[in-house]
Structure 1
C-alpha cells in the first residue's frame, strides 16, 4: 500500500525532545540525512531507499536525478550507496508506472532485513559478553563496555549493531555497565546513546572522549564495542572519528575490541586508503547546541571567530 510520507525520529532534538518528522518528498529525505536528523550507516541506507520512493511517487522519470541527489548527502557511509543501487537494480526491469510501487516494496524489504540482521548481531555478540562475565572472579561482577558514537536503535531501524549486543546480553541476565563516549563534536554518545540506554534502564556513565585510555589502564573496561560506517574486504573499519584512538588504547591494554556491523556496511570494492572521509561544517566544532534553563534550544560559540577548523567525521582502524 502506497504512503504519502515516511516518519522519522528527529535525532537532532534528542535527548531533550522526542519529535517525529514526516518526510514527504526527495528534498525532505536529503535534508534529513544531510542535517543528521537521521544518522547511522544502516538507517541512512533505509532512509535513502524511502527517499527514492518519495521522489518516484512524485515523478517516476526522476530516478537518475534522485539517486544523484541522495548520493551526495553523505560520502562515507557505504549503506547509502548500497541501498540506492539495490533499489535501482529492481527498477531496471519495471515500467515507469511501476517504479514507485516497486521502490516502496524494496525499501520496506530493506527495512525488515535490517531489523533481522541487527537481531542476529546481538545473538552472535551477546555470548562474548557472557564469556567475559563468566571469566570474572565474582558472579556479582559487571561487564564494563566502552562505546563510541551511537550504534544502537537510533542508528538502525531497531535494536542497533553494537548496542544490540548489549541489549541481548542484558536480556539474557548478564549484568552490563556501559561507559559512553560523549563523541564530539556532534555528541552522539551524550545525546543519543545515553538516551537509549536510559530507555532500557541499563547502567551507564557518560565520559569525555579522551577518558577511555585512562579507564583501560585502570582495568575498568572489559571490552570495546563500536559500529562501522564502511568496512573493507581486509577488515579495515571506517567509523566515527576517534575510533582509531580507542582501538590503539585497547590494543595497548589488552582489551578486546569488536566492530559490529551488517553486510550492507561492507565495501568490497575499495581499500582503506581510498575511502572518502567526510569533512563536515566548521560550525559543528566552533559551536555547541543544547537547551537553557528555560528549556529552549540554544547554540553558542565556544571557539574564537577567526580560528581555523578541521572537522573530519571518520577515521579508519586497520
Structure 2
C-alpha cells in the first residue's frame, strides 16, 4: 500500500513523499522540524486533507521534541503550532489535528512526558485515518450498483490519506467486490493531481482508468459514459455544504443536470461543527504562477489578472450522499443529517 508519510522516531524525522514529482520521480523529503513540515504542506509536497492532518500531527511531535529541553517548553510548542496551523486555511483536518495534539499535552507537566504523549497521539491519528478510510470504502461501495463507471476529481487515494483513500477508497472497495467497470479521472488543473496521481494509483492497482481534461466531464455525462461522481472533501459544514478542489462544484451542477449521483467521501474529522454553512468556509487563493506555468509562461501577460482559487463550495442541495466512517447522510434529501452535527 502506498504511504505518503513515514515517521522515523530513531532519526527524529518525518519523511514526506514529494507528490509534486510523481509519477516521474520518487523523492522523499526529510522533515526534521515543524517548520519543515509546514513548508512541505504549503508547497504541496504533501496534500489531501487527511494526509495534511497526519503530517501536522507528526510536525507537532517534531515541535515538542525541539523544545523539550527548554524551561518554557509549552510556550515554544504553542508558537510552533500556531505557525503550522496557518499554512493552509481550507482543509479543516490541519487545525483539527493540531488541536488534538495540543489537547494531548494539556495536562502534562514534564516535557519528556509531553513528547511521549504527542508521539502516541500522532500514531493514533494516523491509524484511525486508515481504519476510517477502509470503513468509508465499505459503506460507500454499497451505494454503487454493479457495472458502474465512476468519475472522480483530484486525488483522494492513499497518497492523500493514511492509506486506502476516501473517494478512491470507495472505488477500490467497489473494484474488490466486482461492482466497478472503470474510472474516469479528471486532470485536475492546475496541479494535475488527477493526471499525475489518481491515474497512477489506479493503474498500479490494475483498475481500468481513463484520463480526461476537466472540461470534458459534462460532455461524457451527456453521452451516458458516467454513472456516478465520487469526490473527497477538505471541509464540510453542518448543513452538508462541501469544500473541495476547484472544479468540484461544476461537476456537481453537471451531475444534477444529468441525474447522476454526486457522492462525497470523507472522514468525520473533515466535518467542521463550528460552521453552519459553506459560505463560512475560507477559500485558499494560490499564486498565479501555478496557472501560467502550465502554459509554459513564468508570469501572466501584461494587463491580465489571474484568479487562482484552490477550492470551491458545493451546496448541500447538490450532494446526493456524504459517506464517513460513521455512516451515510443525504444532504440533498435532508436525510440522516444528524451525522454532520456536533453530537454525531
- RMSD across aligned positions (CA): 1.5
1:223 lines up with 2:261 in the alignment: no
Unaligned runs of 5+ in 1: 134-141, 290-298
- TM score, norm. by length of structure 1: 0.91
Deviation at 1:302, TM superposition (A): 8.0
- Matched residue of 1:287: which SS? helix
1:56 lines up with 2:64 in the alignment: yes
- TM score, norm. by length of structure 2: 0.84
Which residue of the partner structure matches residue 26 of structure 2? 18
Superposition misfits of 4+ residues, deviation over 3 angstroms: 299-303
Which residue of the partner structure matches residue 93 of structure 1? 107
Deviation at 1:9, TM superposition (A): 1.1
1:28 lines up with 2:33 in the alignment: no
Residue in structure 2 matching 1:145, options 150, 156, 159: 150
1:143-292 maps to which residues of 2 (within 5 A)?
143-270=148-275, 271-288=277-294
Unaligned runs of 5+ in 2: 1-7, 316-344
State the distance in 2 between where 1:170 and 1:252 align: 27
Residue in structure 1 matching 2:127, options 72, 94, 112: 112
Residue in structure 1 matching 2:52, options 40, 44, 48: 44
- Matched residue of 1:122: which SS? helix
- Matched residue of 1:146: which SS? strand
Deviation at 1:198, TM superposition (A): 1.2
State the distance in 2 between where 1:110 and 1:185 align: 30
Which residue of the partner structure matches residue 67 of structure 1? 81
1:316 lines up with 2:318 in the alignment: no
- Matched residue of 1:151: which SS? coil
Deviation at 1:248, TM superposition (A): 0.4
Deviation at 1:300, TM superposition (A): 4.9
State the distance in 2 between where 1:89 and 1:176 align: 45
- Matched residue of 1:310: which SS? coil
Whether contact under 8 Å (1:166, 1:176) holds in the other structure is no
Q: Call closer, same or farther: CA 1:304–1:208 in 2, change over 3 Å.
A: same
State the distance in 2 between where 1:310 and 1:93 align: 45
